[in-house]
């Protein structure tokens, strides 16, 4: 029986590429999105062309009831969720002194609260099977807790993801479940202008911007049997930026 991966923010960018890679390796894929309906349909179609099953559904995973309902739907249709990959993580740039209460709340809801809701929803099934993988995306310098005047709430939420990852790892380890984080720096995922990425190269010790294959490889490792004893860790994926 094929393994099942649930990917939030799986319609495009890093989430899409992870889903396509896992589908090629024999996984069935359930992905959810908030706004990228066309991209989600395209991604699902590409997955089914490989012979794997796909679910693509609009779901605001910052809503705990919606998050749980989607997990229950995937479990009903696919039988299980073997891996949860929390890729959803929108951000906006605004000076901290100009941030609104709504904008502040939104960043925490979509970057941190959603990870908690989704992880809590998949945990019972994983615990019952004594197996499971949870991978969440943070950002490369989130563990440095430096001042971020233009992406403040997003940054604090991503630091929170690291604490939540370690906490869930400790709570779920007795059940054979691993929980880890991946913290990208600059990766050309299609969401940032090429000129902006090119301008960042001089700040990256490795001297180049990451490619989509880099987070894919990190996820592939964390979902593998070779990573069975790896939990509560944070993989910096940044070419040395932000460490």
Tell me the catalytic residues. Answer: 155
- Name the token pair of 15: 């989430």
Q: Judging by beta carbons within 10 Å of its beta carbon (0-12, 13-18, 19+), is residue 98 exposed, middle or buried?
A: exposed
Q: Which of 124, 34, 33, 114 lies closest to 75, judged by CA?
A: 124
Q: Could you tell me the end-to-end alpha-carbon distance of the chain, in angstroms, rounded to an integer? A: 41
Which residue shows structure tokens 């894929």?
29
133 within 8 A of 84, measured Cβ to Cβ: yes
CA distance 67 to 138: 19
Which residue shows structure tokens 């779901």?
59
187 within 8 A of 236, measured Cβ to Cβ: no
């Amino acid at each position: 029986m094929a393994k099942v991966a649930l990917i939030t923010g799986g319609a495009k960018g890093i989430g899409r590429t992870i889903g396509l890679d896992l589908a090629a390796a024999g996984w069935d894929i359930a992905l959810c999105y908030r706004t990228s309906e066309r991209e989600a349909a395209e991604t699902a179609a590409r997955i089914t062309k490989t012979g794997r099953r796909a679910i693509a559904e609009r779901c605001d995973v910052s809503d705990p009831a919606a998050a749980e309902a989607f997990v229950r739907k995937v479990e009903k249709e696919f039988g299980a969720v073997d891996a949860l990959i929390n890729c959803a993580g929108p951000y906006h740039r605004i000076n901290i002194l100009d941030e609104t209460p709504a904008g502040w709340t939104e960043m925490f809801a979509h970057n941190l609260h959603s990870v908690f809701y989704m992880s809590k929803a998949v945990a019972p099934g994983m615990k019952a099977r004594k197996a499971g993988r949870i991978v969440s995306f943070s950002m490369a310098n989130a563990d440095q807790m430096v001042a971020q005047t233009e992406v403040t709430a997003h940054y604090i939420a991503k630091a929170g993801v690291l604490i939540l990852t370690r906490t869930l790892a400790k709570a779920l380890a007795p059940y054979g479940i691993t929980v880890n984080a991946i913290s990208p720096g600059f990766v050309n995922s299609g969401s940032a202008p090429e000129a902006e990425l090119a301008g960042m190269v001089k700040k990256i010790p490795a001297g180049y911007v990451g490619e989509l294959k880099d987070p894919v490889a990190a996820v592939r490792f964390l979902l593998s049997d070779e990573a069975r004893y790896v939990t509560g860790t944070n993989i910096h994926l940044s070419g040395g930026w932000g460490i």
